[in-house]
Amino acid sequence: MTNKNTVRFLAYALAAFIIICMCTTIFSVFYYIEPRYENNIFLEISPTEHVSKLEIDIEKDQLIIKSECDKFSVNAPKYVKAYTDNDKYVIKEKKHYLRRGIIEVCLTPEVYDSISINAGVGKIDVNSMSTKKFVLKAGVGDINIKNLFVADSFKLNGGVGDIKISDATVDKLNLEAGVGNVSISANVRSDSSIKLGIGNVNLDLLNDDYRFDVDKGIGSVSIFGTNVNGLYGNGNTLIKVNGGIGNIDIH
């Protein structure tokens, strides 16, 4: 009887030991894999000449862009590199592991010659931005842009996350939507194009002086409440629409 009790006790002890080891392993994995947020530092940038362009390349971090600042500034984790290259500001998130942070960029109120953003996994928030040319390559994270002014061309390549752009004035829009949903409220002033992927596009045009050339694809294209495939409207500004699998709603 004593031997049976001993065997039973050892079995329980072994089971408890295995459970404790498993819990410890799981805790360790989550501790080391879950990204830890880094504290920001002020990145000093002292241009030797007038800088009118901005290039941002991020991988994991959240990006926040503000405007109406007295001078251009960047607050970011120490693994982010910020410098000038002739007439261009460059902000680049270097490869890193098990860390995550927030990159804060403060713009002066001028109209930049060009701004390009290569997005990654993190979220992007822009509260106001003015530029002649704007290139946005979306990644996985969501993107929210308010008060956007693009004097020349805006090229937007959609990604997996959702994109929302409001209160925008764009001269020429070249939109290639991806998997996520795209919602744009804008005054589009010149001939433009929309190419749909798998997601949905909602385009709120702030005037009605348009005509459309539509190839709807598998999905549907609704313009001012009418399902369209072919030519529609007689306005001065032409918008070409190539549909994909998702739906396009223009109103």
Confidence label for 32 from pLDDT (cuts 50, 70 and 90): very low
DSSP string covering 177-226, please? --SS-EEEEEEE-S-EEEE--SS-EEEEESS--EEEEEE--SS-EEETTE
Position 104 scores a pLDDT of 92
pLDDT tens figures, 77-116: 888 888 888 889 999 988 766 667 889 999 988 899 999 9
Contact 204, 176 (CB under 8 A): no
Q: What ranges do the domains of the chain cover?
A: 1-34, 40-250
Report the pLDDT averaged over residues 117-135: 91
- In terms of Cα–Cα distance, which of 220, 204, 202, 222 is closest to 212? 222
Contact 67, 128 (CB under 8 A): yes
Sorted by sequence, the CB contacts under 8 Å of residue 83 that are 6+ apart come out as 45, 89, 90
Pairwise CA distance, residues 122 & 120, whole Å:
6
Position 72 scores a pLDDT of 87
pLDDT tens figures, 222-239: 999 999 999 999 999 999
Options 1.10.3470, 3.30.70, 2.160.20, 1.10.150; which CATH number does 40-250 get? 2.160.20
Confidence label for 33 from pLDDT (cuts 50, 70 and 90): very low
Helix (H, G, I), strand (E, B) or coil at 162: coil
Confidence label for 2 from pLDDT (cuts 50, 70 and 90): low
Is pLDDT above 80 for 174? Answer: yes
Place of tokens 């959609």: 158
Position 4 scores a pLDDT of 57
Position 34 scores a pLDDT of 47
Confidence label for 24 from pLDDT (cuts 50, 70 and 90): very low
